[in-house]
Amino acid sequence: DAMVIQNPRYQVTQFGKPVTLSCSQTLNHNVMYWYQQKSSQAPKLLFHYYDKDFNNEADTPDNFQSRRPNTSFCFLDIRSPGLGDAAMYLCATSGWGTYEQYFGPGTRLTVT
Amino acid sequence: KQEVTQIPAALSVPEGENLVLNCSFTDSAIYNLQWFRQDPGKGLTSLLLIQSSQREQTSGRLNASLDKSSGRSTLYIAASQPGDSATYLCAVRRYNNDMRFGAGTRLTVKP
């Protein structure tokens, strides 16, 4: 089945130690999104790619970076994780036409 | 800036009751609006997508409406079941691919 896959599902990292989360999709969608969701809060858009064009939200900290090497894959890099970066990170895609969003299962990040 | 609000924040109903969840947004220049379900600790599952030119969409016991001019959408759930217990989120997409979510309504359906 076509889907959005996130790895790992759970990630534990140490304070200040760089970490990379990955997302892949088999939907061939041209738009990919990264969201941060903290407990009982709305998902917050960090950035998105429209094809290869990178769009950063104005309030996304510089500590967060992203790469999209091809249509299928997108990575979220957190350069120096702080305790406040512990959250669920959600990847989503959408494609030409309806632009309906499809979400992956998320990666739960813990910072120790 | 688009602001999305969901009321109520939490709702508890007995099984079998029909219920309405509300979503409001401040900027009516939207491309579409999507309703999602989220179970605890899980990702988001799409329920219904309404394009800006549409007034409503239906799927099984769910019906979503959209009134762009007033900045409102409702999600109607008929004959609620305990399995419907989850958090329901609405998200608004603008033409620049910007996506804004509401904080959600946490629904509990009691057997």
pLDDT score of B42: 87
Instruction: Name the residue facing A98 among B51, B89, B91 (closest C-beta).
Output: B51
| Residue A73: Cβ-neighbour burial (10 angstroms; 0-12, 13-18, 19+) | middle
Q: Does the pLDDT of residue B87 top 80, yes or no?
A: yes
User: Tens digit of pLDDT for each residue in A63-104?
Assistant: 999 999 999 999 999 999 999 999 999 999 998 777 899 999
Q: Does the pLDDT of residue B67 top 90, yes or no?
A: yes
pLDDT score of A1: 66
Instruction: Give the other-Cβ count within 10 Å of B27's Cβ.
Output: 14
Which of A1, A48, A100 should one mutate to test binding to chain B, selecting the residue with the greatest count of B CBs within 10 A? Answer: A100
The CA distance from A98 to A78, in Å, is 31
Query: What residues of chain B lie within 8 A of the CB of A42, using their CB?
Result: 4, 89, 101-104
pLDDT score of A97: 78
User: Tens digit of pLDDT for each residue in B11-35?
Assistant: 999 999 999 999 999 998 999 999 9
* A14 contacts A112 by C-beta, under 8 angstroms: yes
User: Tens digit of pLDDT for each residue in B30-49?
Assistant: 999 999 999 988 889 999 99
Return the sign of the alpha-carbon dihedral for residues B27, B8, A42, A99: negative
Beta strand extents in B1-111 (DSSP E only): 4-7, 10-14, 19-25, 30-38, 44-51, 56-59, 62-67, 72-77, 86-94, 99-101, 105-110
Task: Using the CB atoms, write b or e for B32-49: b if 16+ within 10 Å.
Answer: bbbbbbbeeeebbebbbb
Strands B10-14 and B30-38: unpaired
Q: CA of B41, closest CA in chain A: separation in Å?
A: 8
User: Tens digit of pLDDT for each residue in A37-63?
Assistant: 998 889 999 999 999 999 998 899 999
Instruction: Name the residue facing A105 among B36, B42, B49 (closest C-beta).
Output: B42
**Which band of pLDDT confidence, cut at 50, 70 and 90, is reported for residue A2?**
low
Question: Which chain A residue has its CA at the smallest distance from B6's CA?
Answer: A42
* B16 contacts B7 by C-beta, under 8 angstroms: no
Residue A17 tokens read as: 């130690």
